Homo-oligomer: A and B are copies of this chain.
Amino acid sequence: MPVTKGSTIDPARTRATILEAATAVLYERGLDGIGVAELCTRIGVSKETLYRHFGTKDGLVEAMLQARSERVTSWLAEAAAAAGDAPGEQLAAVFDALQRWYDDPVFRGCAILNAAAQHHVDAVRTITARHLGHYLDLLTGIASRAGAVDPPVLGRQLLMLVEGATVVAAHHDAAGAGEAARQAALTLLSAAARPSL
Contacts and interface: CB of A to CB of B under 8 A. Distances in A.
Secondary structure call for the A interface: helix
Q: How many copies does the complex hold?
A: 2
A184 B184 CA distance: 9
B171 A132 contact: yes
A72 interface: no
Interface stretch (A2-10, A61-69, A83-91, A118-126): A118-126
A114 B132 CA distance: 17
Interface in A106-126: 109, 113-114, 116-120, 125
A36 interface: no
Contacts of A33: 118, 120
Given A114-B117, A117-B113, A160 B171 contact: no
Interface size class on chain A is: 35 or more
A81 interface: no
A158 B136 CA distance: 20
Contact of A183 (B29, B109, B133, B157): B157
Interface stretch (A12-20, A39-47, A50-58, A161-169): A161-169
Contacts of A125: 171
